[in-house]
Amino acid sequence: GENVEQHPSTLSVQEGDSAVIKCTYSDSASNYFPWYKQELGKGPQLIIDIRSNVGEKKDQRIAVTLNKTAKHFSLHITETQPEDSAVYFCAASHSTLTFGKGTMLLVSP
Amino acid sequence: DVKVTQSSRYLVKRTGEKVFLECVQDMDHENMFWYRQDPGLGLRLIYFSYDVKMKEKGDIPEGYSVSREKKERFSLILESASTNQTSMYLCASNPTRSNQPQHFGDGTRLSIL
């Protein structure tokens, strides 16, 4: 089955810096790659997703890139703010979602 | 806005009890999912359902079963709870068979004593 590796497990940045989280996947048939943000006491919430026919997608301060050949995809957050502090999960899917283990992002004012 | 509601935020049960976790979605979604979330392990799929009365095993189905008698409701059942089933349980739904965003509930934190 699919295996998704996510790095780093924790990431601390200063407000205004950029943050990058990287994921790799194993199943070349995977064609959908969502990113979720989970705040304390809440369920995961989709923040951006990308499909295998696209190399990059951007939504305001958030962008995702996909390299199908290398089987890796990354989340980029620019101009980070304290409210970006949360746990972020990547996932890959051919039929069902397989999640990475998560990255705890801490943005210090 | 899609709403996925899990009936309990916190639940404490005893070893050997039969435990029911309930999930309801209000957007007429075909697909529903149960995950468990453990520190350092991310989210792992327990069971899912593409339609009423249908169920499919996920990656870690052992010790669990599910029921989907109505489209909007998906129940997770722990037949005989054990301490290693202490976890956060998350329910999700999405509209079609093809890859579409899943919408999550806020979770049930289950403790088995």
Among residues of chain A, what percentage have pLDDT more than 90? 93
* Six-digit token string for A26: 């194993």
Q: Contact B4/A43, CB-based, under 8 Å?
A: yes
Q: Kindly state the average pLDDT of the residues B21-28.
A: 95
Q: Which residues of A touch B48 (CB under 8 A)?
A: 96
Cα(B82)–Cα(B100) distance, integer angstroms: 34
Tokens of B89: 């349980």
Taking the C-alpha atoms of B2, B7, B11 and B15 in order, what is their torsion angle to the nearest 10 degrees? -110
pLDDT at residue number B112: 98
So what's the pLDDT on residue B23?
97
Residues 6+ positions from A94 with CB-CB distance below 8 Å: A2, A27, A29, A30, A31, A32
pLDDT for A76: 98
The string of pLDDT tens digits covering residues A65-99 is 999 999 999 999 999 999 999 999 999 998 899 99
Q: How many CA atoms lie within 13 A of B13 on its CB side?
A: 24
pLDDT (tens digit per residue) in B52-98? 989 999 999 999 999 999 999 999 999 999 999 999 999 999 987 66
Query: Closest residue of A to B32, CA-based?
Result: A96
- Residue B98 is predicted with a pLDDT of 67
Please indicate whether, in this complex, the C-beta atoms of A89 and B43 are within 8 angstroms of each other.
Answer: yes
Given a cut of 90, whether residue B99 has pLDDT beyond it is: no
Is some CB atom of chain B closer than 8 A to the CB atom of A43?
Answer: yes
In chain A, whose CA is at the least distance from the CA of B33?
A96
Give A4's pLDDT tier (boundaries 50, 70, 90).
Answer: very high
> Residue B19 — φ and ψ, nearest 5°?
-120, 135
CB A47 within 8 A of CB A37: yes
Q: Give the DSSP letter string of B41-104.
A: TEEEEEEEESSTT--EE-S--TTEEEEEEETTEEEEEESS--GGG-EEEEEEEESSSS----EE
Q: Which of B88, B90, B102, B106 to mutate to test the interface with A (most CBs of A within 10 A)?
A: B102
In chain B, the residue whose alpha carbon lies closest to the alpha carbon of A93 is B99
